[in-house]
Amino acid sequence: MLESLLADTRALIECESPSADLDAVARCAEVVARVGAARMGASAERIVLDGRTHLRWRFGAGPSRVLVLGHHDTVWPIGTLASIPYAVEAGVLRGPGCLDMKTGVAMAFHAIAALPHRDGITLLVTGDEELGSPSSRPLIEAEARAAGAALVLEAAADGGALKTERKGVSIYELIVAGRAAHAGLAPEQGVNATVELAHQVLRIAALSDPGAGTTVTPTLARAGTTTNTVPAGARVAVDVRIRSVAEQRRVDDAIRDLAAVLPGAVLEVTGGPNRAPLEAAASATLFARAQTLAHSLGLPPLAAAAVGGASDGNLTAGTGTPTLDGLGAVGGGAHADDEHVRLEFLTGRTALLGSLLTDLLTAVPIRPETTGA
């Protein structure tokens, strides 16, 4: 299996696919479709949304029992292969996007191809995950609602741990409207938007709760127009990472309830929750099944990890679908020059994915409201 798995992975890696390059993503989608069809004996449905190409394989005529989710876009610009070519040496695979997550896509192909029965599986490979899934999000959420479980082929956490928790994300911009005045002649006639912003930034930062794992971080800020004018406008971006839906709501309510300190200043809040958290409860049953299956396959015991970064697993969990993430390759250096995959885990983790799919096809009930997508 390893030789053919590496050949499929190489074909995907050597078709560069930076998310922002629509032509490159479309070219890569064709390679992914070709490799997947050859391996699984089934053709993909091409779904183009806002110019981005996503691929879907649906096995069986009935509603989906399991959604297998991956992406074929990467963060690496065209030309990266010249400096970081595909290579396998000393048990390590390298190449742009190898860990995040073209090896995971190839693993999905091989795991599904090995199954004697596939009816009830939907495999979705999107082309804009690294951008936050702007076009594929409705597609992912619709497929998740129609499934009994979602398995996400993002890379494993350190040491091969599965990702049973991911923080949710909220993104805001606070806009302050003040009133301009000459800073030397009549500053008292103005309403200083920078001063108002300073008050609000301190209030926003105070919403963090380290004990709950909540970070509320003011980031990019801008204010004023010239050095001798009381600023009439200011704004700040706010990045929020949270572990629970309750915390996401608390922070959202607090940011929307911000009130101006300076007389005459006006506040406007844009944005809001972007991705719900993948909470431990959404993964618990699937993780327990994976642990049992890993033991039966003679694999090392599985560990669980909570991570801060978001993935499309947040989207599937946000629909109420049980979700297990980090089922892809084991390695390190995602988005960095030393991105790599450890070959010693590849065949075992692919076998685990196949066993989990078999288990879910027979053991996970389809939710009563499921009608297919």
Please identify which of the residues 8, 16, 128, 129 carries the catalytic annotation. Answer: 129
Is 279 tagged catalytic? Answer: no
Please identify which of the residues 8, 73, 325, 339 carries the catalytic annotation. Answer: 73
Residue 342's contacts (CB-CB under 8 Å, 6 or more residues apart) are: 91, 92, 93, 329, 330, 331
What is the DSSP secondary-structure string of 68-107? EEEE--BSPPTTHHHHS--EEETTEEESTTIIIIIHHHHH
Name the amino acid, one letter, at 92: V
Contact 234, 196 (CB under 8 A): yes
Greatest Cα pair distance, the chain, in angstroms, is 82
Q: Is 258 helix (H, G, I), strand (E, B) or coil?
A: coil
Is 344 tagged catalytic? Answer: no
Using CA atoms, how far apart are residues 96 and 368, in angstroms rounded to an integer?
Answer: 42
Using CA atoms, how far apart are residues 187 and 195, in angstroms rounded to an integer?
Answer: 12
CA distances from 111 to 117, 165, 299, 321, 348 (A): 12, 24, 16, 22, 11
Q: Which of the residues are catalytic?
A: 73, 129
